[in-house]
Amino acid sequence: MLPPGDAAMHVAKVLLESGHETYFAGGCVRDRLLGLEPTDHDIATSARPETVASLFPHARGVGAHFGVMLVPSGGHMIEVATFRSDGAYEDGRRPSEVSFGSAEADAQRRDFTINGLFEHPGTGEVIDFVGGRDDLDAGVLRAIGVPEDRIEEDRLRMLRAVRFSARFSLEIDPSTREAIIARSDRLGGVSRERVGHELRRMLGHPTRAIAAAMAESLRLDVSILGTGRVEGGLKRLELLDDQADWIDALTAWELDRGTAEAAGSPARLTEALILSNRELVDLEALLGIRQAILGRWTESSLAHRKRLAGRPQFARSLAIATVDESELCERVEAEFHGFRAEGLSPQPLIGGDDLLDAGLQAGPRFKAILDATYDAQLEGRVQDRASALEHALGLAGESGPGE
């Protein structure tokens, strides 16, 4: 497996040596100029898709219609796109027709000047048709061309502006900013999948609180989250760990906005962001555990506290709850560490089969007896199989056989 930069260089060299104008393009040029390690290395070239396919027999067309090919190289898939000048946009998303064009036209169709840079793979020279270098140096995020038009072509660019601006600490240029604010209620025309995908990237990054504040100041929050307008702090979001999952960030943001616990919130977010089942389970667990910690940790039985601490989202939920009651949460955290040292969620000492073997008949009381016995185990009142069984049979006896 080659380093990704070398893998892309190999592909670029083959294209160059076959006489095709070829550049590294977009994010990887930007990232390198910022001194960051690029995540992906996209190539833009004058070679048509069929030429790319003939030079690289294992290349695959992804959206070949748009001139994009994936070329395997050194264990990576390198995106190779033919220079194009996109035609009219239909649904604010995909160009209805694609026309191949010059490198300059290809730069002009990109969203922001910082994303419109090319780099010559042989010489390392940066080719800048859009003033992206100056904007990078000055810390400015600016739409290429007329901001109103560029946003009308693809309204998702409003969210991309927020993401790039937060991630690279860029000021949004005033005319781009005004164009966004004037259209902030028009994100509705963009598919929820695309909005959700963009938000995942935004909230998955350590600059999430900056991005959220910016989204609110540009009035994009309403159409992202499907709520009314809210103003307030972002304390929970700011305090999250850099590594926090995006769903934790969404939960924190919703709590900061005071909209998390309204009836129907999980359904609203599922619809607005196309949450997966897993994400929805996480969101609901994070909220529910937080409630249980803040509402009744101190009064709860040891077994109940241990059961709660054994839930997979416990630590993440506790981190979000800390803003509300820091002293309580410090105590909870200490207790949690104690529980963990003893082993969270031990295997139950007995199960339903043991009750059947002991002559009980399966019935509605089974689960309650097993639950109560597990509580006794968590609290150390029974320590082994025999005492657990004795405890269970005692409970069964109280309610009559088989009941």
Which residues of this protein are in contact with ligand ATP, per CB under 6 A?
A: 26-27, 39-40, 42, 110-111, 115-116, 154, 156-157
243-272 positions binding Mg ion, by CB under 5 A: none
CB of 27 to Mg ion, least distance (A): 4
* 103 and 46 Cβ atoms separated by less than 8 Å: yes
Q: Exactly one of 16, 21, 33, 40 binds Mg ion (CB under 5 A); which one?
A: 40
DSSP readout, 307-355? Answer: HHHTSTTHHHHHHHHTTT-HHHHHHHHHHHHHHHHH-SSPPPS--HHHH
Distance CA 77, CA 72 (A): 4
CB of 28 to Mg ion, least distance (A): 8
3-state secondary structure of 42: strand
Binding part of the chain for Mg ion, among 24-32, 118-126, 238-246, 296-304 by CB under 5 A, reads: 24-32
Q: Exactly one of 27, 95, 116, 147 binds Mg ion (CB under 5 A); which one?
A: 27
Number of residues that bind Mg ion (CB under 5 A): 2
Distance CA 394, CA 199 (A): 54
CA dihedral 193, 195, 198, 201 (to 10 degrees): -80
DSSP readout, 99-132? Answer: EE--HHHHHHTSSBGGGSEEE-TTT--EEESSSH
Query: Is the CB of 154 or the CB of 173 nearer to ligand ATP?
Result: 154
CB of 362 to ligand ATP, least distance (A): 55
Distance CA 183, CA 165 (A): 18
Query: Is the CB of 156 or the CB of 323 nearer to ligand ATP?
Result: 156
CB of 226 to ligand ATP, least distance (A): 22
CB of 222 to ligand ATP, least distance (A): 21
Interacting partner of 177 out of Mg ion, ligand ATP, none (Cβ under 5 to 8 A depending on kind): none
Interacting partner of 4 out of Mg ion, ligand ATP, none (Cβ under 5 to 8 A depending on kind): none
Q: Which residue is nearest to ligand ATP (CB)?
A: 27
Residue 116 in contact with Mg ion, rule: CB under 5 A: no
Partners of residue 68 on adjacent β-strands? 81
Query: Is the CB of 40 or the CB of 379 nearer to ligand ATP?
Result: 40
Query: 126-128 and 140-141: which strand pairing?
Result: unpaired
Q: Which of 347, 334, 359, 339 lies closest to 385, judged by CA? A: 347
CB of 38 to Mg ion, least distance (A): 8
